[in-house]
């Protein structure tokens, strides 16, 4: 038998070929064109070899496979764009064939005539699980590391290599839809209970058990290729399905406002496919898959949520020539809620932490936050008791600054006050070594100004966390004027160590995320003042794809904090820097009505005792004369929210605050959940075209105020027909170097 | 164009649409056949002159399948020359059958047509004919599909009807239906359903509860909160009408139309057709119209279609003496009254489907007959008949006495 680059094939005395997938120079197996070609060749070879009775397919890595290399799909997009210019119809056919390549290869495996068993030893995602579904037997290791999922919907596409057909032919339709429309992971046990794997065995027994299935006479025929096959639950025209299919799109609307064409396509594939024989069903799936690949949503989501996120996580912005940091100890100064949570995520990454506050009691109180988080995780089975204890043992609460002497990094998270911070900077710098980097977790104070308190501003940097720290995936790394490469490299190494995604931002008031968030909230103030019914404001925002309505969000961050920020802006920049109507609204809410947000149970919403749900404060409608719902255009409301945020993101690019469009996109999705189907703030603009965006902004500026006026950069880009990813090409540097 | 006249109409009583309902033992086709027999016998009709039999049936499957009006013609012993056709526009099918027939006559194609509808909800069941409207994600998503009850609650929420409002309407419907039965207003049109031996199976509407009061309704739980909240349909309603923060669930079995079995048929014809039958016309079909309306509210089509119909016919609201609007849900009628400022004493004056039930495909023909009888009894001239329809449509017809 021939040799392969990504596979080894060993046939044993029983005639069972063990195909082990182990890609060189990769930590995880992924599908590339080459991998698919080799699998194709393996099928041909094993079919041709009379000595081979069956095939066991497994992985040589700790995981099985992460699925398709989505950069492969990204290259499809450029292929399509080029071909389309030449011959649109041929381009479409080419895309259709490319979209079906994997699906028909799996079908070839399924119908090759010899039994195949997939031995799932670890994480098995997307196309890899679809290959397993086309195998005649599936055995999974009884291990926590086995995570089975079809997560394609999370990047704007869907399981297009037979997933939408084989899952609901094995599991009931409701479980199948749930699995695919949420992309959530299954344990080996859950997969077995759903009927998606045949056996769960101890990891050491995995390959043997898979071989045994073949020795026991596993039939090389899928159930749906047998005569008389019946879909579990009886198919589409049953009372159970009559409950499921009307509700399924309603639930998509509830969960994601129906903004994801990929998710809806899953429902269509299952509904149509279950009424067809498998080959026709796979063709229908291929048609929908081709359609979805052509959507702006798929293009933008794959770029931001897969490619860019991965690149930023791997340190795309890390300066070259800086040695990788090993974190022996991290100091966290300030054991309030933020500091305490930062200590937790640091310890969770296995790094020893000293958590410092003014006295032992305050420091202990900070550690108690971790104790509660650990107890919750242990309770939910996410951590074992031992792991939890080990995590807590890494956190040392103390009032003693001297313990910072050997810290690699110190994160300051004290009260947002220049004087308080100045004192902490001085106290810390008095004890730390020359190599230690000082990071401030400020959310409102510019880093350059804070760094003036430092004797070593090149080793001073901002690391801005978001609350709740243990859940929010994003961290903003803020460069002060004098922050040096070492500080940046270490900050990025630290963010990577705690498994968060960094964006690197130059110093400005509000940095990137908060600047955008306040645009969002201020647009809602405008709408309230115009008399748009409050529920319409909140619903329009959610329909636009925002995870939380702006008024609800303002209640969470606290209305008096908004007041404080508005007042600080007036103090620093003068009264013209804020909208006086906004200030009047907020002053009324806070000063007259004591409505400060969720924290005092009174904000834009009312917060009745649980289990009752919060509801909009009814009197809100009395503050301004109300418009009739019929006179308010919801599409315009949605556009205003997305456009005002996207414009702010464009301004940060124009000002040089953010320099890489990937960061504005990923930062906006991870930082405040900016309509993920758009691919982020700048992809939203690129997706509709800068020219169309400028036209939209001009219209909105005429109707709703100058804050929508397109900036000189945007006008210039529109005139030249540029995109953000073209003008600020994040890969240009790499190409120059190459 | 040829003028179109109504010569006669009959309906069966409405049996409770459950297994213990009195008409459950009667096949769908026999319910329809009873109405054909009655029209023939009452009018001495030569059935070989019947140009068409058009019947609405919303779930034309199982024993209601395969062109039920033609099947009913066989059972009723009609001439084989009488053809038949089944149509569906959901809840307005019975009225649309009449409009369809009127169109054929007006155009000069037919002279004598029987139009009506039939539904045995106890035997066939709702939704049994399937359909992409609610099942296919390529359709139900853009259609903002919701169970009708959630749409009715959305209407109540959007237009501000409270639980008390809808319950009070339901109590009045029951009271009016009970009084009308008591006074014998339906006796000329309701034909008792008898067995082959002449024994009565059912001779009155058995869904009615004339003694219903606010207190008894108050004990009923809202029916559509569960599908609204668990099934995700509330989100669908809110996305279609985002000024709504939360749906107020007010409808229940007592203020929604009853599920019943029944059939109705109307004898329609041209002047020449009447002359050949040797009978006098009772009313003229003045105008009719159809419209598509907001799919999420689904049941506000009567408002839209009434506006369209008045405009097209050059008539005014004040020209209408009585309104008859199918009581699919209380909020449907309340919204209609609100939109046109129609006083309650001009609409559904003898009660409606909340009290007597809504045999889907038949109702349109039944309520047209009811209001014609009432115009005659009150010696009034003009009535507008309309129904709300699944997927967001409306059908309306204006009749006037001759």
CA angle A81, A84, A85 (to 5 degrees): 95
Contacts of A242 in chain B (CB under 8 A): 127, 134-135
How high is the pLDDT of residue A385? 94
Mutate to test the interface with B, among A253, A291, A534, A641 (most CBs of B within 10 A): A253
Question: From CA B339, how far away is CA B27, in angstroms rounded?
Answer: 40
Each residue of B27-62: pLDDT tens digit? 999 999 999 999 999 999 999 999 999 999 999 999
Q: Tokens at residue A737, please?
A: 């170097």
- The CA-to-CA distance between both ends of chain B, in Å, stands at 17
Beta bridge partners of A139: A119, A199
Catalytic residue among B207, B251, B252, B358: B358
Given A257, A543, A616, which is nearest B245 (Cβ)? A616
Beta bridge partners of A502: A475
- pLDDT for residue A51 is more than 80: yes
DSSP A569-627: HHHHH-GGGS-HHHHHHHHIIIIIT---BGGGTBSSEE-PSTTSPPEE-GGGGGSSPPP
Is residue A1 very low, low, confident or very high in pLDDT (cuts 50, 70, 90)? low
Domains in chain B, CATH or no CATH each: 5-122+257-284 (3.40.47.10), 137-185+220-256+286-401 (3.40.47.10)
- pLDDT for residue A8 is more than 50: yes
Pair A322, A315: CB distance under 8 Å: no
How high is the pLDDT of residue A272? 98
Each residue of B145-168: pLDDT tens digit? 999 999 999 999 999 999 999 999
Residue A373 parent element (H or E): helix A360-379
Residue A291 parent element (H or E): helix A278-293
Contacts of B136 in chain A (CB under 8 A): 245, 268, 271-272
Q: Tokens at residue A243, please?
A: 């409950």
Mutate to test the interface with A, among B147, B158, B227, B232 (most CBs of A within 10 A): B232
Contacts of B147 in chain A (CB under 8 A): 246
Question: From CA A433, how far away is CA A438, in angstroms rounded?
Answer: 11
How high is the pLDDT of residue A443? 85
How high is the pLDDT of residue A76? 81
Each residue of A312-346: pLDDT tens digit? 999 999 999 999 999 999 999 999 999 999 999 99
User: Is the Cβ pair B232, A236 closer than 8 Å?
Assistant: no
Beta bridge partners of B285: B399
Question: From CA B79, how far away is CA B73, in angstroms rounded?
Answer: 8
> Taking the CA of residue A226 as centre, how many other CA atoms within 13 Å lie in the half-sphere pointing to its CB?
11
C-alpha pair distances (Å), B29 with each of A267, A606, B36, B382? 38, 57, 11, 33
Q: Is B133 exposed, middle or buried, given 0-12, 13-18 or 19+ CB atoms closer than 10 A? A: middle
Phi, psi of A244 (to 5 degrees): -80, -50
- Of A650, A388, A80, A207, the closest CA to residue A199 belongs to A207
How high is the pLDDT of residue A560? 96
Q: Is B131 exposed, middle or buried, given 0-12, 13-18 or 19+ CB atoms closer than 10 A? A: middle
Pair A253, B235: CB distance under 8 Å: yes
Residue A601 distance to chain B (closest CA, Å): 19
Domains in chain A, CATH or no CATH each: 7-294 (3.90.226.10), 330-510 (3.40.50.720), 514-656+660-727 (1.10.1040.50)
Residue of A nearest to B133 (CA): A246
Query: Mean pLDDT, to the nearest integer, of A257-263?
Result: 97
How high is the pLDDT of residue A572? 86
Residue of B nearest to A241 (CA): B135
Residue whose structure tokens are 């400020």:
A442
Given B135, B232, B241, which is nearest A254 (Cβ)? B232
DSSP A387-456: HHHHHHHTEEEES-GGGGTT-SEEEE---S-HHHHHHHHHHHHTTS-TT-EEEE--SSS-HHHHHTT-S-
Residue A729 distance to chain B (closest CA, Å): 38
- Of A319, A254, A182, A305, the closest CA to residue A668 belongs to A305
Is residue A79 very low, low, confident or very high in pLDDT (cuts 50, 70, 90)? confident
Cβ contacts of A564-570, under 8 Å, gap ≥ 24: A565/A444, A565/A518, A568/A444, A569/A509
Task: For residue A91, count other CB atoms closer than 10 A to its CB.
Answer: 17
Mutate to test the interface with A, among B160, B242, B294, B390 (most CBs of A within 10 A): B242
Residue B237 distance to chain A (closest CA, Å): 9
| Cα–chain center distance at B139 | 26
Contacts of A539 in chain B (CB under 8 A): 238-239, 242-245
Pair B361, B119: CB distance under 8 Å: yes
| Cα–chain center distance at A379 | 26
How high is the pLDDT of residue A77? 81
Task: Give catalytic residue positions of A.
Answer: 464
- pLDDT for residue A736 is more than 70: no
Beta bridge partners of A683: none
Q: Tokens at residue A119, please?
A: 């031995």
> Taking the CA of residue A428 as centre, how many other CA atoms within 13 Å lie in the half-sphere pointing to its CB?
36
- pLDDT for residue A738 is more than 50: no
Task: For residue A417, count other CB atoms closer than 10 A to its CB.
Answer: 10
The residues of B whose Cβ lies within 8 A of any Cβ of A are 127, 130, 134-138, 140-141, 145-147, 227, 231-236, 238-239, 241-246
Residue A141 parent element (H or E): strand A137-141
> How does strand A409-412 pair with strand A437-440?
parallel
Q: Spell out a b/e string for A550-580, using b for 16 or more CB atoms within 10 Å of the CB, else e.
A: bbbbbbebbbbbbbebbeebeeeeeeeebbe
User: Is the Cβ pair A246, B134 closer than 8 Å?
Assistant: yes
Chain B interface includes A240 (CB < 8 A): no
* Dihedral angle, C-alpha B205, B206, B211, B215, nearest 10 °: -120
How high is the pLDDT of residue A83? 86
Which residues, at least 6 apart from B290, have a Cβ–Cβ distance to it below 8 Å?
A: B89, B96, B99, B305, B393, B394, B395
Mean pLDDT for all residues in chain B: 98
How high is the pLDDT of residue A735? 61
Which residues, at least 6 apart from B257, have a Cβ–Cβ distance to it below 8 Å?
A: B326, B327, B328, B329, B352, B353, B354, B357, B358
- pLDDT for residue A513 is more than 90: yes
Contacts of A552 in chain B (CB under 8 A): none
Q: Tokens at residue A303, please?
A: 């770029």
User: Is the Cβ pair B235, A634 closer than 8 Å?
Assistant: no
Mutate to test the interface with B, among A164, A250, A552 (most CBs of B within 10 A): A250
Residue B115 distance to chain A (closest CA, Å): 32
- Of A571, A574, A534, the closest CA to residue A554 belongs to A534
Residue A139 parent element (H or E): strand A137-141
Contacts of B127 in chain A (CB under 8 A): 242
Q: Spell out a b/e string for A636-671, using b for 16 or more CB atoms within 10 Å of the CB, else e.
A: bbbbbbbbbbbbbbbbbbeeebbebbbbbbbbbbbb
- Of A506, A505, A508, A492, the closest CA to residue A444 belongs to A508
What percent of chain B shows pLDDT beyond 70?
100
C-alpha pair distances (Å), A369 with each of A329, A465, A623, A697, B101? 20, 16, 40, 45, 76
- Per residue, the 3-state secondary structure of chain B, as one string, reads CCCCEEEEEEECCCEECCCCCCCCCCCHHHHHHHHHHHHHHHHCCCHHHCCEEEEECCCCCHHHCCCHHHHHHHHHCCCCCCCEEEECECECHHHHHHHHHHHHHHHCCCCEEEEEEEEECCCCCCCCCCCHHHHCHHHHCCCCCCCHHHHHHHHHHHHCCCHHHHHHHHHHHHHHHHHHHHHCCCCCCECCEECCCCCEEECCCCCCCCCCCHHHHHCCCCCCHHHHHHCCHHHHHHHHCCCCCCCCCCCCCCCECCCEEEEEEEEEECHHHHHHHCCCCCEEEEEEEEEECCCCCCCCHHHHHHHHHHHHHCCCHHHCCEEEECCCEHHHHHHHHHHHCCCHHHECCCCCHHHHCCCHHHHHHHHHHHHHHHHHHHCCCEEEEEEEECCCEEEEEEEEEC
Pair B250, A264: CB distance under 8 Å: no
Each residue of A362-420: pLDDT tens digit? 999 999 999 999 999 999 988 999 999 999 999 999 999 999 999 999 999 999 888 99
Question: From CA A665, how far away is CA A676, in angstroms rounded?
Answer: 9
Chain B interface includes A543 (CB < 8 A): yes
Helix pair angle (B148-159, B330-340), 10° resolution: 40
3-state secondary structure of A180: helix
Query: Mean pLDDT, to the nearest integer, of B131-139?
Result: 97
Chain B interface includes A176 (CB < 8 A): no
Q: Tokens at residue B402, please?
A: 């001759």
Q: Is A311 exposed, middle or buried, given 0-12, 13-18 or 19+ CB atoms closer than 10 A? A: middle
Each residue of B360-388: pLDDT tens digit? 999 999 999 999 999 999 999 999 999 99
Contacts of B146 in chain A (CB under 8 A): 250
Chain B interface includes A634 (CB < 8 A): yes
What is the DSSP-derived secondary structure letter of residue A323? P
Chain B interface includes A96 (CB < 8 A): no
Instruction: State the pTM of this model.
Output: 0.95
C-alpha pair distances (Å), B185 with each of A426, B357, B376? 96, 17, 11
Catalytic residue among B91, B207, B251, B252: B91
Mean pLDDT for all residues in chain A: 95
Given A236, A247, A543, which is nearest B239 (Cβ)? A543
C-alpha pair distances (Å), A22 with each of A42, A133, B3? 14, 20, 83
Residue of A nearest to B144 (CA): A250
Q: Tokens at residue B147, please?
A: 């169970």
- pLDDT for residue B95 is more than 90: yes
Pair A391, A434: CB distance under 8 Å: no
Contacts of A634 in chain B (CB under 8 A): 242
């Amino acid at each position: 038998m021939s040799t392969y680059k990504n596979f080894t094939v060993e046939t044993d005395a029983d005639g069972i070929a063990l195909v082990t997938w182990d890609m060189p120079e990769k930590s995880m197996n992924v599908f590339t064109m080459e991998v698919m070609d080799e699998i194709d060749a393996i099928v041909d070879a094993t079919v041709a070899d009379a000595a081979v009775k069956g095939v066991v397919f497994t992985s040589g890595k700790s995981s099985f496979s992460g699925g398709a290399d989505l950069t492969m799909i990204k290259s499809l997009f450029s292929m399509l764009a080029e071909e389309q210019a030449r011959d649109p119809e041929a381009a479409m056919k080419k895309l259709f064939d490319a979209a079906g390549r994997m699906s028909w290869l799996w079908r070839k495996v399924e119908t090759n005539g010899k039994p195949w068993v997939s031995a799932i030893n670890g994480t098995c995602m997307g196309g890899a699980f679809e290959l397993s579904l086309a195998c005649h037997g599936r055995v999974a290791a009884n291990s926590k590391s086995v995570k089975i999922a079809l997560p394609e919907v999370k990047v704007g596409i869907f399981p297009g290599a037979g997933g939408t057909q084989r899952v609901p032919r094995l599991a009931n339709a409701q479980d199948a839809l749930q699995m695919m429309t949420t992309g959530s992971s299954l344990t080996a046990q859950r997969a077995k209970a759903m009927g998606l794997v045949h056996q769960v065995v101890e990891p050491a027994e995995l390959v043997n058990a898979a071989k045994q299935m073949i020795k026991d006479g596993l039939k090389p025929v899928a159930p749906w290729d047998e005569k008389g096959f019946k879909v579990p639950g009886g198919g589409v025209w049953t009372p159970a399905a009559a409950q499921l299919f009307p509700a399924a799109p309603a639930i998509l609307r509830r969960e994601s406002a129906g903004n994801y064409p990929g998710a809806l396509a899953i429902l269509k594939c299952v509904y149509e496919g279950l009424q067809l024989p498998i080959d026709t069903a796979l063709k229908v799936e291929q048609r929908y898959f081709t359609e979805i690949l052509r959507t702006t949503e798929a293009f933008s989501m794959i770029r931001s949520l897969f490619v860019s996120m991965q690149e930023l996580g791997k340190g795309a912005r890390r300066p070259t020539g800086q040695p990788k940091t090993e974190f022996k100890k991290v100091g966290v100064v300030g054991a309030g809620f933020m500091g305490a949570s930062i200590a937790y995520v640091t310890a969770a990454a296995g790094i020893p932490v000293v958590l410092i506050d003014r006295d032992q009691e305050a420091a202990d109180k900070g550690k108690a936050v971790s104790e509660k988080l650990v107890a919750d995780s242990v309770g939910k089975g996410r951590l074992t008791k031992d792991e939890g204890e080990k995590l807590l043992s890494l956190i040392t609460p103390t009032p003693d600054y001297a313990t910072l002497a050997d810290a690699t990094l110190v994160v300051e998270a004290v009260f947002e006050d220049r004087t308080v911070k100045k004192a902490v900077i001085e106290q810390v710098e008095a004890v730390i070594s020359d190599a230690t980097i000082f990071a401030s977790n400020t959310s409102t104070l510019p880093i350059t100004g804070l760094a003036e308190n430092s004797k070593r501003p090149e080793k001073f940097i901002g690391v801005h966390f978001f609350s709740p720290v243990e859940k929010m995936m994003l961290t903003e790394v803020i460069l002060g004027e004098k922050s040096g490469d070492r500080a940046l490299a270490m900050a990025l190494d630290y963010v990577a160590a705690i498994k968060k995604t960094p964006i690197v931002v130059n110093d400005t008031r509000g940095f990137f995320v908060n600047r955008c968030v306040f645009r969002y909230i201020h647009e809602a103030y405008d709408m309230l003042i115009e008399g748009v019914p409050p529920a319409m404001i909140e619903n329009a925002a959610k329909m636009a794809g925002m995870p939380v309505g702006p008024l609800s969000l303002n209640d969470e961050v606290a209305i008096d904090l908004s007041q404080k920020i508005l007042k600080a802006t007036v103090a620093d920049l003068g009264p013209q820097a804020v909208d006086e109507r906004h200030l009047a609204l907020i002053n009324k809410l806070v000063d007259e009505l004591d409505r400060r947000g969720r924290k005092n149970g009174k904000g834009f919403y009312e917060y009745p005792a649980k289990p009752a749900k919060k509801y909009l404060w009814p009197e809100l409608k009395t503050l301004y004369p109300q418009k009739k719902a019929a006179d308010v255009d919801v599409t315009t409301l949605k556009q205003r929210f997305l456009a005002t945020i996207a414009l702010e993101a464009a301004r940060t690019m124009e000002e040089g605050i953010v320099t890489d469009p990937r960061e504005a996109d990923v930062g906006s999705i991870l930082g405040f959940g900016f309509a993920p189907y758009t691919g982020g703030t700048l992809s939203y603009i690129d997706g509709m075209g800068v020219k169309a965006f400028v036209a939209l902004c001009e219209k909105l500026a005429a109707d709703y105020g100058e804050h929508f006026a397109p900036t000189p950069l945007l006008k210039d880009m529109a005139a030249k027909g540029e995109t953000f990813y073209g003008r600020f090409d994040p890969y240009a540097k790499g190409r120059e170097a190459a | 164009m040829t003028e179109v006249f109504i010569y006669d109409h009959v309906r069966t009583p409405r049996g409770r649409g459950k297994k213990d309902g009195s008409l459950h033992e009667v096949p769908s086709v026999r319910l329809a056949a009873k109405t054909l027999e009655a029209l023939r016998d009452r009018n001495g009709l030569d059935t070989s002159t019947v140009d068409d039999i058009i019947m609405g049936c919303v779930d034309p499957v199982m024993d209601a399948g395969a062109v039920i009006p033609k099947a009913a013609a066989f059972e009723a012993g009609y001439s084989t020359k009488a053809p038949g056709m089944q149509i569906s526009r959901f809840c307005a099918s019975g009225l649309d059958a009449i409009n369809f027939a009127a169109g054929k006559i007006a155009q000069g194609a037919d002279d004598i047509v029987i139009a009506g509808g039939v539904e045995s909800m106890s035997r066939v069941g709702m939704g049994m004919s399937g359909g992409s409207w609610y099942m296919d994600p390529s359709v139900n998503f853009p259609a903002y599909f919701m169970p009708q009850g959630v749409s009715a609650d959305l209407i109540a929420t959007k237009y501000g009807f409270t639980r008390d409002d809808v319950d009070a309407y339901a109590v009045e419907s029951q009271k009016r239906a009970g009084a009308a039965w008591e006074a014998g207003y339906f006796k000329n049109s309701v034909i008792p359903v008898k067995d082959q031996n002449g024994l009565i199976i059912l001779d009155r509407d058995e869904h009615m509860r004339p003694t219903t009061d606010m207190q008894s309704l108050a004990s009923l739980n809202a029916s559509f909160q569960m599908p609204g909240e668990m099934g995700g349909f509330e989100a669908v309603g809110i996305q279609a009408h985002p000024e709504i923060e939360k749906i107020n669930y007010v409808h229940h079995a007592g203020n929604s139309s009853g599920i019943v079995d029944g059939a109705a048929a109307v004898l329609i014809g041209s002047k020449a057709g009447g002359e050949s039958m040797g009978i006098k016309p009772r009313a003229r079909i003045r105008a009719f119209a159809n419209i598509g309306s907001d799919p999420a509210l689904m049941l506000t089509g009567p408002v839209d279609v009434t506006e369209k119909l008045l405009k097209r016919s050059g008539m005014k609201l004040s020209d209408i003496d009585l309104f008859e609007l199918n009581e699919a849900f209380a909020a449907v009628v309340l919204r209609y009254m609100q939109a046109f400022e129609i006083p309650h004493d001009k609409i559904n004056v003898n009660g409606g489907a909340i009290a007597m039930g809504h045999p889907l495909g038949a109702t349109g023909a039944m309520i047209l007959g009811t209001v014609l009888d009432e115009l005659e009894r009150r010696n009034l001239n003009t009535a507008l008949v309309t129904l709300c329809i699944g997927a967001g449509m409306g059908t309306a017809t204006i009749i006037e006495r001759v």
